[in-house]
Amino acid sequence: MCSLRACVSILEHIVEPPVVSNCSTVTLTCRVDTGAPNVEVWWTFRGENASKLPDTTIVTDNADKGEWQLELKCPTLEHKGTYACNAQGRNESEVVYRKEALLKIYVPVTIEVRHNSTAQKIDGKANLTCLVTANPLPSVDWLKDDELINASIARLQMNTEEIDDVTVLASLHIENLEREDNGTYICQASNEFNNATAAQDLLVEEAPEVEFTNATTVEDSSSVTLHWRVKYNGNLPVTRFQLYRDSSVDETTIEVDSDIQGNITKYTISSLLPGLTYSFHLAAFNEAGESDFVYLNVSMPADVPPKVSWVHVLASTNETLLFGWRRPNHDNGANITHYTVQLHRQNGSLFAANTMVINAPGRNNHMYIFVGLNPGETYIFQVQACNALGCGNWSEPLEGTTSDGIPDPPRDVVLTCDHDDERNADSISVSWEEPVNARGTILSYNVTINTRAQYRNDNGQVVDEKGSKIEIIDAKMNAFSYKTDVLPNTEFTAQMCTINRSGCGPLTNITLNTQCKSPSNGVAF
């Protein structure tokens, strides 16, 4: 037993703070009713002197006042537990006074996420994980949209695996991914000391969705501008669009463009037929696949008829031309009521312009005859179809030529006989002027020379010899004369006709100007 003066009493043994995170400084303070040097104070931990622990310092600055401190600079989980403050008086070698204090150490909850964002194809699988470090080991929950995920859903699996005494691997496995699985997933870990969260995004990649908008505009009777928007991109950029069309008169689907760039949201289609209703089909593509086609019907306004494209000369005479044409394949949404025809001369002057009213609207083939034309002349024909809105474009010019008529004979025909003294030769020459009316294209001239010669033969008999010779003079030579050597003592007459595509016209009459006689250089009868 010790006397009241000799006994040592530990007044207080405290840990500040009593709970610390891993490697946080802790101070244990032991207050004794007797100061140094009359008392010796030390700490033990798990039966060993605590001063042997790493980064440990005994502070004795106030030991003379009965206060000793044990500082732990970086305590770990190995250092948690009960520490004993031991005090022994100098005169009490066999008596040790002890007071215990509890130090609690924990590892803060931290979460490591491998991927902040995960992308997987629809109907595929996704595996979200978070590596949690903490002691005591935490519980882990998964949240989406601030709500705990229902673990009872068959295609969801949540697992927690203890790696060691401070590490937990938590995973969320999702089968048969759906669009509703898109979102931010929260891994939430907590223990009695603290908690932490980590987020990761899940992107479910799928084919896009597209829709036509009300901004679609009919530009005119033959063109329309379609507008659309990507309703949902499927978490992937749209790479291209594909556009088709068909019409109310044709069930055939025609590809308009199969490679419209993914950033395009409008497209103008031209060369459409007025008055028809077109159905447009649009699909969008990304790396995940192809969207369903969306459809838009657009009715084009009516317009004047299209240009007549099939026009022919059906028949011709020397005074008439019969033209025929076929009704346009499409009436541009309004019934064709009439046709306007016009005929021009080659110099551009208008010969005739008429309107032909249609009595049979469904008739496909039409014809029109022009009369009182000039023979052998080329005319230019055009036709246009008309409806209540107006008339379409003129057809391409078509030339038609009347057949040649019977041409007039040449004018002012003169026959001349001549003798060339130097050559001592006789000749005749014929000259003429163009006819008043060729009734076509002059191809050539027929020059007919009739001859008559009278002489006595070797038997003394009188011979009356007649003959004729025809010369064809090509009109391309632009020559209006003919000359040839002849025999002397011969009477000549000349007759001519004009030749066109219908043949040779009437011969000229024999007049004094178309008769002559070559000089005589022989014995006459």
Neighbours of 520 (CB within 10 A): 12
Strands (E) in 301-458, as ranges, are: 311-316, 321-326, 338-345, 350-357, 365-370, 378-387, 390-391, 398-401, 411-420, 425-433, 444-456
Backbone φ and ψ for 50, nearest 5 degrees, come out as: -70, -15
Predicted pLDDT at 4: 46
Predicted pLDDT at 457: 81
Tell me the residue type at 131: L
Cβ atoms of 373 and 319 within 8 Å: the answer is yes
For the chain, which ranges sit under pLDDT 50? 1, 4-5, 522-525
Q: Which residues pair with 137 in a beta bridge?
A: none
Tell me the residue type at 512: L
Predicted pLDDT at 390: 92
Predicted pLDDT at 525: 36
Global confidence as pTM: 0.61
Maximum distance among all alpha carbons in the chain? Answer: 211
Kind plus residue range of the DSSP H or E element containing 361: none
Predicted pLDDT at 520: 52
Q: What is the pLDDT of residues 358-377, one digit of tens each?
A: 776 778 999 999 999 999 89
Distances (CA, A) of 225 to 173, 271, 296: 47, 12, 12
Predicted pLDDT at 522: 42
Q: Is 436 exposed, middle or buried (0-12, 13-18, 19+ CB in 10 A)?
A: exposed
Q: What is the pLDDT of residues 304-335, one digit of tens each?
A: 999 999 999 999 999 999 999 999 988 888 99
Cβ atoms of 367 and 327 within 8 Å: the answer is no
Virtual CA dihedral for 73, 79, 81, 85, nearest 10 degrees?
-50
Predicted pLDDT at 509: 95
Tell me the residue type at 169: L
